[in-house]
Structure 1
């Protein structure tokens, strides 16, 4: 029985054991019995109404107030609960349980002074009251009086060595004091006293994992499993541990053990399904979701998990079916409505999504979460000012505040408003000091301002906070690469890949560092190993096969390169670089005419193969026959209207020719929605905006593209052109210089040099610095 339930029963028993047969007493007892039944059945509205009738009969009856306070807590009405508990405390000042509940409510309101007064009163009566001691230690911790908190937690352990939370709290304080060895010692002492304790063993695991001592972390989980072999949670932690180290077979086997340990535990199915989804093994993932739902067919959370899976697979009708099922069972369930908004976003029905979020904000008590999602919808609809307005409504006390400030920072950064972007990052970090995304963006901002020393320090801070996370190493590698420090850059990219073997950008940079140092054979060996590792995962294989094809060209092996580029396209027909490299190969070897005829013939024989007209379009484009290129892209879109690569390329050509820009914009937006993570697609949308004279929108897209391809000279050139049109000549010049520093001979290099020379002459003539 829970402590709350026990308190309720005791209060009822004390109240009525001596009840007389007075009619008012009988009425009071009847209502109180009814309140107890309602409370037990979790019908808190019924319990509230019955308790209010008890208080009407006897306004001085303290137990009814304390019970009503508990009921209001269940109803989520903290304000009402607080006032009711105050009344209960006034009526029964000697009841320590009521005083403790009231102290907890003061603590939640950050009124530490009053909370401590009540706790001191309880401890004066019961000096070893562990609940009061835990609360007092918590207040001392929040007030940063860590010495007093330590004394209290040690006192709790002296009183009762089985109190796991005292050990974990002491260990947490040791970590705050940057003394992980002391934290480990504390947790080991706790385990000696509580050998079967999961929290203590998991705390020990976390310390070693954060320190990147992964072998010791693994050993700790295995030791825990030896003690608790039937605990699915431990198998799930171990499975995720294996996955983080790319030990895919071990991970899969351990997920299966988690399911076998307790076949009724739904969490194990969901965790394993998530693993298979990340592995691009969607059929296995779907089977697990369906199995879980067959075990608990009325579980609304499972319906929504399956809906979320279908959204990720772009099977939106199936997602909508399960969302509607959930809403049929619980019409006011906010998570289901939020998923409905995600479906609308995936369908590019942005105005409908915005309207849905507006209705939800009126009817649900979580406006900050809804404001955040509405801001995302506004951004997708290219309504940047409306997005800013939604984000501005989210205050610093909201759980959504760090994410909202970070989104605002991205907006400012994409507009190249670096001062405000920096301020938004600092606001996020003020409430979430270890927010890696905010630190990464702040580092990028300093790098944009050429303050590389500060950027480097921020990226190193990311590594200190999360040594197992690849982001800090990857960003550090980009800084070193910019300064042509190949050795340090390669080391940083190597560290990023070691922590996340699927981090393609880090791997590509690492290979390029090997190429720059004339270590092509090593680069090929790395590619071969990675291709073998990702066998059966098409979206991961495509860029690796393409990368190896590039390496074959460096070794003057065009036939092998051609084969690899084709394999890349077959693995993932959305992978644009492979198309272009294959076309360039045909042009360079003089095989373009034969290739065009071959692809035409293949397209005639396979009219439903979308990649064939796509390839023809790129070949025609490279042969400077834009009309035929556009016809080929249109044919690809006839076969598959949602084929993003063709939409992207047709949009780019229309923009280049200044033709039908509204259609170009629609195509580019469709491609951007279908391929949100492809920086080349963002570049195309930016170029369309540029041609339409929408320069702020163009800057946003080019900036988003450069987040993924920071060293791409063409995208930098596009951004510089946009700055020039905006009259921001200083940024135009620095961006052109950056493009030419990365690569001296890119496609637009001569235009870039000419514009840069003009800007420098203009600067000299006007004397503007």
Structure 2
């Protein structure tokens, strides 16, 4: 068991000795005030939950808002409020509440579906397909299925029918036994006029759910567009028999009755719609049609006003993917002679259905505005699809007569490249290749140009920057020295020379060059910034701050200076200032500038904020999709956001871009392993070793990869090669030990690990040996080894943690308590250690367990394990009201954790919420995970039935 694996015991597996990497992924949400919420707020929530279950949405929303008046950070309140608002039709407020719940730490699986529904209702389809929070990665299968259906709907709205069907196929791959995964296909097929496929999908749904009103309605929709009106009516009748409140079926049947001239039946359905859906705009349009047929123009006009009164207040972006509503509101405004407003909706409708008859109305509006060109364009497009439409042909003829014939000439220009060997052309060619992403070939051309003519200063300056970027500072310095000899009065060349000298370690020479550049041209900002960098590096913080402030006083949009201000703030541990400067620099960056975005993404990752890191990385990727640094940053952010699929794709691109650079390929391989792409890591390492066969870090990592690929013979051969080439290094023996462990050869592993530790005594070699000894004699040899090491290295926190975990794992809670207390003395802010200590105290029935677990939560407020431990400790001390709130919070953050759900169920049962307790226990036991309280969970579930 790795040193950071949580120790286990029969009652409570809630130790969370997390690695540093995992801890950074949990996020920091600031002081978690909701953990100490007022009891009255909790009562408001429980009452709201009861009202919500009884469909009293208005009452539930009032009570939830009352709770938020007391404590706005109650995660469970924000979550339920979002769901209630969504069901009540207030989608904007629902999005706000659900987003706040996500910020507070609710598990994405809990919020992604209602949040996606809120986005769809607002016309934010592109965001559903593009935002990281709607990624499938890391979600349970059932949630992935529902999210895929949402993504299908979004793709269909955007006109991507192929993508919509692909998403449905992926949903069916998860579970094809649900009617929803078949019904989702029907409207897409209808839109594509693929009626046979639509019918097959509807029949599959009906076979699975013969009493589904939605399935019968969808079948009726297919029959309707196919022209079988008698069968259509029968299907709609069946749907409404099964569910009288099915609005879509009621609207469709009323419209069909009108088409058939059966006005009394249509009026009956329209009247029912007014009762069950008073805010349904299509019902208002049907009322207008009925009034018009009854020759009641004032009543028709009143109905049209009702319609526009319902749709106009809604921002057009909210309904831009609802063509029926766009068309109806356009027609209504046209009927009310409100042409400007009609144009807005008809134009939006035309973007989704360009070949409809609405084009003719638009053309009339354009002609009325004397916008003849636009009218011609619309009509010509329409007539390509409907060449026999006489009205459209007449309108187009009128437009052409009023405008006259004109020809559109488009001349395309091509730029030819000259093939002579003039150095200036090679310079241009080199720059062109670099800008198109072919930097390797571009450097070759620039070097050839500079070699042939050292006065090719443009080639020289670009080469200096490229050499500095690739770590070839000495080459850059040589060219810089030549430049300043050629042009001793050129301040920019002295600045470049200073940069090259600084990268090569000649700091005094760098300062001298920068100062000479400023002396030659005081207006040049770059050498001033470079001097500030030198001052930051030498800890002359006040001097650097003054220099940068002077630059920004003259040019408040200088992003270079802003970045250095961020670096300075970071050195001074001023996180908020660091973020402010980075965000400001990134906001002001140009369309090709990636540095500030990369720095901001890295800052978010370092501070445990994967979501904003990913969002920034994505924005930067749009600027430079083939840049190696961008690809690596994007992959890191994707990994931190649990999007291993996306990370694999980014790293595959990075492997291609990195070519055979061993250092870059090694970094890519490490990230590929983090993405669980062992084959990808192997490929990157093969490229690294092709470029440098004896590159030790790549050889060592390839050995580990071969072990993961179940190829111990290859791994052993490579490890022995490392030993042969590096006989005095520990790494080869450590790897031989790993090979022996993989083969189950514990004695051989111990010999290898001991040899490694003898050669290079370190925490790494000790912990390998410790882990192997932990399985022997109840872990006593391992503990003795760690205790002896700690006497010599009393500040080794990693070994102290391993020792503490070992005591807890073997049930020696008294020693574990002492060891964790020692670890906390070394690292007072170590939330996992505090949480583990609290769990040990629970075993020992120590009344200080609550206090210690509160400290763990205070250090890491978003950690569901720590919150659960505090809730469980409170329940053990009889504080069930507060425990219930905390355990609800933990369950929302980590719904896949059966132990948390069991703890919540215990407190729910104790507070007489038996139905909810049963739901939590059933979910925990169906999770398929082995958890320590499973037997207790089963017994409790039986007692509640």
TM-score tier after normalising by the smaller chain length:
0.3 to 0.5
Q: Please identify the structure whose Cα radius of gyration is greater.
A: 2
Higher relative contact order (CA 8 A, sep 6+): 2
TM-score (norm 1): 0.43
